[in-house]
Amino acid sequence: MEGTSMTNQEILKHIDHTQLKAFATWQDIQKLCDEAAQYHTASVCVPPCYIKRIHDAYGGRVNICTVIGFPLGYSVTSAKVEEARAALADGANEIDMVINISDAKNGRFEAILEEIKAVKEAVGDHILKVIIETCYLTEQEKIKLCEVVTASGADYIKTSTGFGTGGATLEDIRLFKAHIGPHVKMKAAGGVKNAEDLKAFLAEGCERIGTSSAVTLLTGGQAGSY
């Protein structure tokens, strides 16, 4: 993707406009959704507790993405599956799940594969993005998780929650590209601080970027925080 030659309007079509703070108010969520509707972002990424309210208030004007097992990833598989089902029933169209990072550190990649498969089965034709939280992983663990996500049938591999010790890096995106299958797309999240970062991640092949800052950055304001 030629991110450096994209217009701001084109860039915004790849943004998951995000508000996931624990203390996000309905006014915060309304602002997010109004901006998403105005600037045609790919989605709004919001806490599960707001899905139904957004769906009822905005209908099809915004594409609703939410998170499960978030942000730490260590809830049991059955809980993640139920979270995903409830989110879809409330009106979400896309699910961003966090893997069990402890399983990755313990080398239990088969367990991670089975969990992603179980969530994907619950999600069905809806988009499933898998957050591997790169800041906690070695290069070999990242490579193995690229293989796991590819084998799972998930739609995206995603770098980060934005709540860990670090966010997306171009180096991780390049590593992903070398090790994911052709059907797996990439999402970068966290660490996107300016318009140049947005363009750079898109130029490296990211299909989505999760950030709260893009609308502000591309419409003349200062960076927000994810």
Instruction: Please provide the average confidence, as pLDDT, over all residues in the chain.
Output: 94
Torsion 137-19-222-8 (CA) sign: positive
Catalytic residue selected from 129, 158, 185, 199: 158
Domain that residue 14 falls in: 9-219
The reply to whether the predicted model has a pTM over 0.75 is yes
CATH number of the domain within which 14 lies:
3.20.20.70
**Residue 125: inside a domain, yes or no?**
yes
- Is there a catalytic annotation at residue 96? yes
* pLDDT single digits (tens) 178-208: 999 999 999 999 988 899 999 999 999 999 9
**Residue 4: inside a domain, yes or no?**
no
Number of structural domains the chain divides into: 1
CB 64 within 8 A of CB 92: yes
**Residue 134: is it exposed, middle or buried by C-beta count within 10 angstroms (0-12/13-18/19+)?**
buried
**Residue 31: inside a domain, yes or no?**
yes
* pLDDT single digits (tens) 84-117: 999 999 999 999 999 999 999 999 999 999 999 9
Catalytic residue selected from 16, 80, 90, 96: 96
CB 71 within 8 A of CB 96: no
**Residue 225: inside a domain, yes or no?**
no
**Residue 1: inside a domain, yes or no?**
no
How high is the pLDDT of residue 219? 83
Rounded-to-integer distance, Cα 116 and Cα 110, Å: 10
**Residue 226: inside a domain, yes or no?**
no
Going by pLDDT thresholds of 50, 70 and 90, the confidence category of residue 220 is low
- Is there a catalytic annotation at residue 144? no
Rounded-to-integer distance, Cα 143 and Cα 180, Å: 8
* pLDDT single digits (tens) 7-60: 999 999 999 999 999 999 999 999 999 999 999 999 999 999 999 999 999 999
CB 127 within 8 A of CB 88: no
**Residue 224: inside a domain, yes or no?**
no
Catalytic residue selected from 120, 142, 187, 199: 187
- Is there a catalytic annotation at residue 103? no
